[in-house]
Amino acid sequence: MSRGPELPSVAQLLDIADDFGLDMTAERAGEYRDAMSGGIRALRRIDDMVEERPEVKYPRTPGRRPKPEENPYNAWYWLTDIKGAKSGPLKGMRIGIKDTVSVAGVPMMNGSRVLEGYVPQIDATVITRLLDAGAVIAGKTASSDFSFSSGGHTSAYGPIRNPHKPTHSPGGSSKGSGVALAAGDIEMALGGDQGGSIRIPACWCGVVGHKPTFGLVPYTGCMGIELSHDIVGPMANSVENVARMLSVLAGPDPYDPRQRGVIPEDYVENYMPAIGQGCEGLRIGVVEEGFGHKADTWPDLKLLPSDRRIDAKVRAALRGLKKNGAKVRNVSVPMHYDGIRIWFALVAEGAVDVLYHGSGLGSNWQGYYDTPMLDHVAKSLRARPNDIPPTVVNVLLMGEYLKRHYHGRYYAKAQNQRGSLKRAYDAALEENDVLVMPTIPQLPGPIPPPDAPFGEYMFRALNMLNNCPQFSTTGHPAISVPCGMVDGLPVGMQIIGRHFDDLKVLQAADAVEKLGDWRTK
């Protein structure tokens, strides 16, 4: 039997009291110690009881680290060959899994040496669904360090390189998935998105990446950053394959609190009908604020201005849709500019709660808590704090400062402003079926050298967040689909739809894809 928690010492209680600002004598601390002895004994019984755990349904071996010659762009963290059901809509399809998603028996480190040595004991719900559909798990794709970077340079085993130009960034944080798709290693992959981490690498790698409506796809078994932003979704080499994956992934999961009271009873279960529908009569709103960003558009944020050539490529694709029968018109959503600020306030403080204080899981929600993951993250963060990457340190320092000195005020205000941001896009969607803008209005930048100055390291990690974080905050479905090339690098169009109208988003993306080979445009 497990011994469970020990009764705290008087000194430990005095330390805690001091942190809380309580005046307490050793004698009173001893009295509190005696008062809590029964509760501590009760917790020992909790340790002895069996906890519910999702079933691991398919056999597998642990897999292995790839050899350098197998991994020229460093897209893969780990290689596996886990076979699912003998039949199903994804039969035999090899799928890469972002290394934030638990695969039982396979190492997981979320791109960070801090988490080295962790091996999940469960399959995330999305893994079980893929395997039930006949898929083969080909391996774990490399992630940004703690998924806190949209650049190519922050990852435990070195930079991840863009197959179109290996000296340049593939975007992040689901960069291994984007690169493996662009390199032709696989046809489908899973990514995660809390601020653009599916759409950004999809854009810069020239693949398709869909951030589903918040709550549509279960997050159970994935490492979180902020519970109201955590999303996992499909990436693929075509819109059709994204639709095929989403049809398997979507649906209620009793373990996931993000879905409680969210998924409507009449949600779409099969997204394949979106393919081949064309765009005749499709109403497209072109968001003016998504284009033409200047150096001073966000004077408080170090974001790059728009590249006019990218704006032109997106508008050219829109002209193609119009020729095919779409109804295209400009719309204005002025709050788009402030959406990034709302997102930043939520992620800065929320990440401290979930990632650090909540050990990657947080608390105060009903669902499945992966206790082995919690234990490993908690111990590793405290045992190897100097291995935490600068992007995460920056968020931890700022978030904890705001929490200690402003008591969560800015997180709370940002949550209250979230509804206004959502309604601003909803108003534009009342008269339009989808909204459109560039996914990223800049081309990929160069991967900085290992000895790059701190300022360049941070700048290259976060300078492309102009148009993506807003829809992680509002929860609208959003997809990036390739629509052209500039200087040999891909350009992506972002298409946004109404909540749970992912089908319409996929229909529009498929129409863009069918305009012709984007590599020649």
Question: What radius of gyration, in Å, describes the C-alpha atoms of the chain?
Answer: 23
Contacts of 276 (CB under 8 A, 6+ apart): 510
Sheet holding 327-331, edge to edge: 76-83, 136-141, 94-98, 188-192, 232-236, 208-211, 478-486, 489-497, 434-438, 283-287, 327-331
Return the SS3 of 331: strand
DSSP state at residue 353: I
Catalytic residue among 150, 174, 197, 306: 197
| Separation between Cα atoms, residue 156 and residue 141, nearest integer Å | 12
Q: Measured at the alpha carbon of residue 24, what is the angle toward residues 20 and 27, in degrees to the nearest 5?
A: 140
Asked whether the beta carbons of 189 and 141 are under 8 A apart, the reply is yes
Hey, how many other C-beta atoms are within 10 angstroms of the C-beta on 378?
A: 16
Q: Would you give the end-to-end CA distance of the chain in angstroms?
A: 67
Q: Decide if 102 is catalytic.
A: no
Strands 434-438 and 283-287: parallel
Separation CA 356–CA 371 (nearest Å): 15
Q: Which of 108, 279, 98 is nearest to 198 (CA)?
A: 98
Residue 98 annotated to the active site: yes
Helix (H) or strand (E) holding 283: strand 283-287
Indicate which residue of 98, 175, 211, 504 is catalytic: 98
Q: Please give the Cα distance from 289 to 266 (Å, whole number).
A: 33
173 noted as active-site residue: yes
Kind of pairing between the strands at 489-497 and 434-438: antiparallel
Give the C-alpha separation, 139 to 205, whole Å. Answer: 19
C-alpha closest to that of 520 among 317, 319, 330, 311: 317
What is the C-alpha to C-alpha distance for residues 191 and 497, in angstroms, rounded to an integer? Answer: 19
Is 278 in contact with 320 (CB distance < 8 Å)? no
Return all residues near 270 (Cβ < 8 A) that are at least 6 apart.
Answer: 247
* 181 vs 190: CA distance, rounded Å: 11
State the CB neighbour count (10 A cutoff) for residue 309. Answer: 14
Which position among 173, 247, 306, 480 bears the catalytic label? Answer: 173
- The residues annotated with a catalytic role in the active site are 98, 173, 197
